[in-house]
Amino acid sequence: MKKLCLLSLAIALASPGAWAATADNKEAFVSDLLKQMTLDEKIGQLRLISIGPEMPRELIRKEIAAGRIGGTFNSITRPENRPMQDAAMRSRLKIPMFFAYDVIHGHRTIFPIPLALAASWDMDAIGLSGRISAKEAAADSIDLTFAPMVDVSRDPRWGRTSEGFGEDTYLVSRIAQVMVRAFQGPAPSAADSIMASVKHFALYGAVEGGRDYNIVDMSLVKMYQDYLPPYRAAIDAGAGGVMTALNSINGVPASSNTWLMQDLLRKEWGFKGLTVSDHGAVFELINHGVARDGREAAKLAIKAGIDMSMNDSLYGKELPGLLKAGDIAQSDIDNAVREVLGAKYDMGLFKDPYLRIGKAEQDPADLYAPERMHRSEARDVARRSLVLLENRNQTLPLAKTAKIALVGPLAKAPIDMMGSWAAAGRPDQSVTLFDGMRAAMGQQATLTYARGANITGDAKVLGYLNFLNFDAPEVVDDPRPAAQLIAEAVKAAQQADVVVAAVGESRGMSHESSSRTDLNIPASQRELIKALKATGKPLVLVLMNGRPLSIVDEKEQADAILETWFAGTEGGNAIADVLFGDYNPSGKLPLTFPRSVGQIPTYYNHLSIGRPFTPGKPGNYTSQYFDDTTGPLYPFGYGLSYTDFSLSDMALSSTTLNKSGTLDATIKVKNTGRRDGETVVQLYVQDVTGSMIRPVKELKGFQKLMLKAGEEKVLRFTLSEDDLKFYNTQLQYAAEPGKFNVQIGLNSRDVKQQSFELL
Ligand code: BGC
């Protein structure tokens, strides 16, 4: 075998770019190649650089040809990447480059933000969004995405809540698997697949106070039970890469954390792929205070098992000296290089370095051509992700013949519609709410528009949001006085049958580095809502935001509230579909909406306590805040429909479960209303008594189903011992005999319950 590999290597070296003759045995191939490499070439492979518009392309190509760069990110077209791959093919060993990008929720067609995808609870829709993202990205020469982001987030002050799939371990884990499989398709080596690099390993969503980049201090039980499973699920689904988190964990930064990167990831979980640091994270080990200087930072990171260092030059600068001084071993470098080469092998790049770059004559004449996009799929996925929070007096759906006043700073906001991390999406291709409603209404109806308010009246906040942005200010104020904007909107409202107000956050408010101390709609917009309410006209709020907002007042002021998150390229059409009843909303909240910041954390699956607050009973000496209503504004799993659903009592197939057996929970779901519709039936389990405190309930299954008006179906959920296992104080994963409650509901709060005994 060995001889064969050397032979194939020799053939490959003899003919430029002809890696087609490489061996099929990955390990032997990589080992043989490694033996041919100089130290410089090895270290070069560990360098992952960002390509910005300002970077000297000529110099980069020179570096690549000298074997000093392993991959790039942010260069995202075939004509950009081809010359770099050509340069790699001129290098001594012709090791191909890979090209990465943050393809998070779409590439050219932007799907709803991940939090919104989670709100669909629709695994097919989510998978479709991932598959299309991969196809579009691969067609633009991307080999790897820094996604999915599966950080469980339970503190909505954190701006990256928008980028994840919510607060629940089970739901996030399910989506993690779906996304990895969707990105990677049949294999990461397929021409229309991209490798998934799951992030941010680990626990990034639990940063203290929701402050980005902050510390995480957490018990091992909580980690294993609540925060680690989604990363594990992604890895078990075959994710080829793992990106480390920017936070520290119990006193050790993720990027220098040997326990995390070696003991847990590689030894315990058996991960065999590529690890990359997050942007500049190796250098930041100095700021964390665990490395004296760049030299020590590089040493800690490579020894911990960070294969590629993203966007710093520390590995290149420091590894040779560290090796010479005996501070690191040759095997530290070789192990990292082996993973980089292995990932390139898995991406199919040794067989064909131009697999996703293709031939120049096949380059798209127009990157933004409509036929390169997937609008109908994006529209369908988007409407599945919208959550109807309120609908008094059946204010929605709206009649297409109505006189509608559309107001609010987000009604005509193409950039915001795409949400943050919008990859190669273009605002001029995204459909605003105004455009979507206009198109849906036809000519008979009138749609008047008034801005009504700016996103924020706070100049400091505005400055921050625009500072974040790269090309041009994203949040552009209407310079007229606030009172004048409101007066204009009120006038429009007075002349209309119904008012639709598009309010919430600009996309930059729910982004990396955008932590907030309050969860209110900004004051400028709250003033607008108050004034609109005073007109007495029916008021529909279309919320756009990337995190839960505390909308206690707005809940009372509005007749209907539709949570639309940031719905993507086709957002305007999708929202219009729901507003006018062409699609019956079916989304459910993937995280709890608190009444106020002071209530955080409000996640539903908290541990049992000794003095729980019990609604309806005096609150004294129970766990509560005495100055506000106890409990969240909207519970996890909540969402309305234009029709009504009822649940029968639940039946269990037995009152006992043997360790090797299964138990069925069945329930009848009926559409009791007059419209067809979909809903999500959710199954929760509570381990009533255990060797340690267990959560009050935990999601263990769900089914999204469509029922015609009047239709009824029996749903069956099958439980086994596996669904009851948890990590005990010794970190053993096992189920304990005893009583379990099973709950089924259309949200996490209002449930039917039965009990059984695990024998
Ligand atoms: C983010 C990562 C991202 C990387 C590359 C970092 O700032 O934390 O999530 O993948 O940049 O764009």
Per-residue pLDDT band at 22 (split at 50, 70, 90)? low
Q: Report the range of poorest mean pLDDT among 16-25, 242-251, 357-366, 530-539.
A: 16-25
Distances (CA, A) of 735 to 232, 698, 738: 19, 14, 9
Per-residue pLDDT band at 19 (split at 50, 70, 90)? low
Report DSSP state, residue 451.
-
Report DSSP state, residue 522.
P
Q: For residue 626, how many other CB atoms are within 10 A of its CB? A: 7
pTM for this one? Answer: 0.97
Residue owning the nearest CA to atom 4 of ligand 1: 279
Tell me the C-alpha distance between 454 and 477, whole Å: 6
Please determine, for residue 104, whether its predicted confidence score (pLDDT) is greater than 70: yes
Q: What is the pLDDT of residue 472?
A: 79
Can you give the residue ranges of every domain in the chain? 100-362, 393-599, 645-758
The DSSP bridge pattern shows strands 539-544 and 651-652 to be unpaired
Cα(277) to ligand 1 centroid in Å equals: 9
Would you give the distance in Å from CA 412 to the centre of its chain? Answer: 25
Tens-place pLDDT, residues 700-718 = 999 999 999 999 999 999 9
Mean pLDDT score, 277-283: 97
Residue owning the nearest CA to atom 10 of ligand 1: 146
Of the candidates 279, 269, 325, the residue with the CA atom closest to the CA atom of residue 306: 279
Residue owning the nearest CA to atom 11 of ligand 1: 279
HSE-CB at 357 with a 13 A cutoff on CA atoms is 21
Q: What does the H/E/C string look like for 333-351?
A: HHHHHHHHHHHHHHCCCCC
Cα(587) to ligand 1 centroid in Å equals: 28
- For the Cβ of 278 lying below 6 angstroms from any atom of ligand 1, the answer is yes
Mean pLDDT score, 108-128: 98
Tens-place pLDDT, residues 587-598 = 999 999 999 999
Of the candidates 103, 92, 57, the residue with the CA atom closest to the CA atom of residue 196: 103
Phi-psi region at 731: left, alpha or beta (left = phi > 0; alpha = psi -120 to 50): left
Report DSSP state, residue 535.
T
Q: Which of 76, 104, 194, 279 to mutate to test the pocket of ligand 1 (most atoms within 8 A of CB)?
A: 279
With respect to CATH, is domain 645-758 assigned 2.60.40.10? yes
Tell me the C-alpha distance between 275 and 265, whole Å: 10
The architecture of the domain spanning 393-599 is 3-Layer(aba) Sandwich (3.40)
- For the Cβ of 212 lying below 6 angstroms from any atom of ligand 1, the answer is no
CB–CB of 255/306 below 8 Å? Answer: yes
- Asked about 217 being catalytic, the answer comes back as no
Cα(485) to ligand 1 centroid in Å equals: 38
CATH class of 100-362: alpha beta
Cα(349) to ligand 1 centroid in Å equals: 24
Catalytic residue among 86, 122, 143, 278: 278
Of the candidates 350, 346, 343, the residue with the CA atom closest to the CA atom of residue 17: 350
More confident residue, 21 or 422: 422
Report residue 669 as tokens.
Answer: 């779901």
What are the residues facing 719 on neighbouring strands?
663
Tens-place pLDDT, residues 373-405 = 999 999 999 999 999 999 999 999 999 999 999
What SS3 class is residue 632? coil
